[in-house]
Structure 1
Amino acid sequence: MRVQLRFRSAKLAATATATAVLLAGCGGSEEESGARGGPEKKTITVAGLPLADVAALHIAIDRGLFEKEGLNVRVQPVQQSVQALPALAHGQVDVIGGANFVTFLQAREKGTLATRVLAEGARNAPHMMDVLVPADSKIKGPRDLKGKKVAVNILNNIQSLTLNAVLGKAGAGLPEYRQVPFPQMGSVLERGQVDAVHAAEPFLTALKRELKARTVVDGNAAPTAGLPLSGYVTTDTFIDKYPKTAAAFQRAITAAQAVAAKDRGAVAKALPGYTKIKPAEAAAIGLPDYPATSSAAQLKRLISLMRTQKLLTKDLDPAAVLYQPAR
């Protein structure tokens, strides 16, 4: 019997359809002139992933932190941040929440989309992004993954980047990666189409519950411990056109990140509302670290690792990537 992970995002269509929905359904945000010093655009759309990474986004909405800044934030669910890239480029989506940094750093380097990080969302932490195998698998540890088929949400991205680094440090060989959206990982693992899955929370906990899958690699091992993974990304065009809006969003999400960093209960309360994970599981899953402030030094670690694995061809200045509002 096929396991169906019960998440809203599992009902989304394939990438092309999801992109079309974003382009068709997220447009038309009314631009309003706020009071003096207020945001130029009061209603903004955020493409949000169903991951623990974006808990602060929902905390900010629930606690009125955006409203306090004069913003009305609408969330458009999306399975993969790359699905929202066309919509972001066309201004139909203003921000991508849970955007994996690898994709957006590559887009900036290549000049395909001038992206900027409004705020970090999540950093690597113990058992929030692990490699799982079926309970009866012969795979016992990192060295057993050499040549095996491992599912990742997006190819040549944050998951393979971090897992390659962990396996390299352990002296283990590399697997063969297969692109499988998080909501479908349970099905392909159960059918034996892959040998293992590299899953992030809350999908990680759901796979353990539904399939009795077990962990063979903690994705937070050296040298990726505490590495920046994802955040809230927009474009230079949006910032140039709406600087007060960008600053207001940054203030609200930074305040929410501080809440998430200190109050696990607030994260546990938010998770069931947008991931459909059970409340009891939300209180126990492995969460990422939620940095209250973004760090150029930490982002430099990610850029250096990407350079090592040839996912970037040149160094990027992390200070230029991180948005700093004018004083």
Structure 2
Amino acid sequence: MRQSRRLFALLSALALVASLTAACGGSDDSGGGNGLEKKTVTVAALPLVDSAAVYIAQKEKLFQKEGLTVKIKPIAQSTLALPALSKGEVDVISGANYVSFLQANEKGALKLSILAEGTTMTSHMMDVLVMPKSSIKAPKDLEGKKVAVNILNNIQSLTLDAILKANNVDPSKVKYVQVPFPQMATALEKGQVDAIHTVEPFSSDTEKKLGARVAVDGGTEPITDTPISGYVSTQDFVKKNPKTAAAFQRAIIAAQKIAAGDRKRVEEVLPSYSKIDAQVAKVITMPGYSTSLNATRMQRIVDLMSTEKLLQQKPDMKTILFQPTS
């Protein structure tokens, strides 16, 4: 009888521990009581204004509200995180330029899923800068010159080529040179390139430190309001973790709305993840922050890429844009 009572007491204790563990969600990465398949999400983020929403969401505890823990890993170029994304070592890339990832999707390097839109082009959000005494003053003057871009055959050359054509300039006469954003100012100052096609917050910082001036507004027509970057993942991730993906999407869209409605909130987070000081953050040109995932708007970048032959076929955006089932 004593053994039976001891056994009963032991089983009751084990049952109590099990119930408490279940209530607390356990120690693994499962979603626990909130129904998420995965509660820890790793995000690779660029040090650009494009990534502001992920830092706003972190600061305002919007991820926490959705039951998510987000780990942010800074990266210099979104394409550097592509292998990690394909292997599942990174779940989401923030500030990912659509050109690289739509191309990777077409080539089969990954099956792309876009969780949320990030930024759209605005006037002077991306600019072609030159040194103060440069003879380059208009798009036509770029012919025969070296222009630095972050990644070759990508969003910068794509949009600048469209602007050049609109100004009757032959893009083939411009020599693009790959230089990472943080190194562009040095390359310009040393004369390694004639101009740099840079983006905020680097453009305002370069203007301030070098006295560089704008030769070409990189956000003018015909590419104004074109989607340029967003929050990308893989179809494998969203299929295995649909509730987690939906929770991340809700948090980011909420943060995008904050960024779109109050630039001071962007100014507050910028110095925390970029090398831009608070004073420069106050004067930079902001991109457009999209507050929804819109297929019609996204089609603009696809059409532009197709026109410039950066895509052989137009992808089915319905399979690429993540839409929660509930």
TM-score computed with the length of structure 1 as normaliser: 0.89
Q: Contact conserved, 1:31 with 1:40, CA < 8 A, in 2?
A: no
Residues 31, 182 of structure 1: CA spacing in aligned structure 2 closer, same or farther, 3 A cutoff?
Answer: farther
User: Does 2:144 correspond to 1:147?
Assistant: yes
Q: Deviations over 1:52-98 (max 9, x none)?
A: 00101100000000000011111101000010011111111110000
> 1:179-198, aligned counterparts within 5 Å?
179-198=178-197
In 1: Cα distance, 2:176 partner to 2:147 partner: 5
Shift of 1:34: 2.0
User: Does 2:144 correspond to 1:137?
Assistant: no
The residue that corresponds to 1:67 in the other structure is 64
The residue that corresponds to 2:322 in the other structure is 323
> 1:81-96, aligned counterparts within 5 Å?
81-96=78-93
The answer to which of 56-65 and 107-116 deviates more is 107-116
Q: Contact conserved, 1:118 with 1:233, CA < 8 A, in 2?
A: yes
In 2: Cα distance, 1:82 partner to 1:151 partner: 17
Give the SS at the match of 1:112. Answer: coil
Q: Deviations over 1:122-147 (max 9, x none)?
A: 10011111000011100011110012
Q: Contact conserved, 1:59 with 1:270, CA < 8 A, in 2?
A: yes
Give the AA of the match of 2:237. Answer: F
In 2: Cα distance, 1:314 partner to 1:217 partner: 31
In 1: Cα distance, 2:46 partner to 2:124 partner: 19
Shift of 1:36: 4.2
In 1: Cα distance, 2:273 partner to 2:143 partner: 35
Q: Contact conserved, 1:162 with 1:219, CA < 8 A, in 2?
A: yes
In 2: Cα distance, 1:178 partner to 1:113 partner: 27
Picking from 156, 159, 168, the partner of 2:156 is 159
The residue that corresponds to 1:78 in the other structure is 75
In 2: Cα distance, 1:285 partner to 1:132 partner: 14
Greater share of residues in helix? 2
Q: Contact conserved, 2:47 with 2:76, CA < 8 A, in 1?
A: yes
Give 4+ residue runs of structure 1 displaced > 3 Å after superposition.
Answer: none
> 1:32-71, aligned counterparts within 5 Å?
32-71=29-68
User: Does 2:101 correspond to 1:104?
Assistant: yes
The residue that corresponds to 2:275 in the other structure is 276
Shift of 1:31: 5.2
> 1:200-219, aligned counterparts within 5 Å?
200-219=199-218
The residue that corresponds to 2:303 in the other structure is 304
The residue that corresponds to 2:245 in the other structure is 246
Q: Deviations over 1:206-233 (max 9, x none)?
A: 1111111100111111110000000000
In 1: Cα distance, 2:209 partner to 2:29 partner: 47
Q: Deviations over 1:99-135 (max 9, x none)?
A: 0000111111111110110001110011111000011
Q: Contact conserved, 2:147 with 2:196, CA < 8 A, in 1?
A: yes
Number of matched residues?
A: 298
Q: Contact conserved, 2:124 with 2:220, CA < 8 A, in 1?
A: no
Gaps of 5+ in 1: 1-29
In 1: Cα distance, 2:110 partner to 2:244 partner: 20
In 1: Cα distance, 2:46 partner to 2:268 partner: 17
Percent identical pairs in the alignment equals 54
Q: Contact conserved, 2:120 with 2:289, CA < 8 A, in 1?
A: yes
Shift of 1:243: 1.0
Shift of 1:33: 2.1
Shift of 1:37: 4.5
Give the SS at the match of 1:229. Answer: strand
Shift of 1:35: 3.3
Give the SS at the match of 2:32. Answer: coil
The residue that corresponds to 2:165 in the other structure is 168
Shift of 1:44: 1.2
What root-mean-square deviation, in Å, do the aligned CA atoms of Structure 1 and Structure 2 show? 1.1
TM-score computed with the length of structure 2 as normaliser: 0.89
